[in-house]
Amino acid sequence: MSALKIIVTVIYCIVAIAFTASVLMQEGKSAGLGAIGGMAESYWGKNKGRSMEGKLERFTLIGAIIFFVGAILLNMNF
């Protein structure tokens, strides 16, 4: 096993753990049903991107992309 493959494997494991933790830390989407009753224009709805939940969603998306790219890299023969 080459040094590059070992480094990619270690990074892949760290990303996998962080990705799993970010998914588990997110709240359920059932709270978003308030939009039906007209509660979509609340302060929380307008500033969701700057909230902790918005940051977790962004981190989860980036983590998923890195996770899948890492899976492809680990299956390559280098």
pLDDT computed for residue 41 by the predictor: 54
Show the tokens assigned to 69: 């790219």
pLDDT computed for residue 32 by the predictor: 56
- Whether 62 contacts 11, CB under 8 Å: no
Please write the tens of the pLDDT for every residue from 31-66. Answer: 555 556 555 555 555 666 678 888 888 999 999 999
Q: What is the pTM of this model?
A: 0.67
pLDDT computed for residue 67 by the predictor: 92
pLDDT computed for residue 20 by the predictor: 93
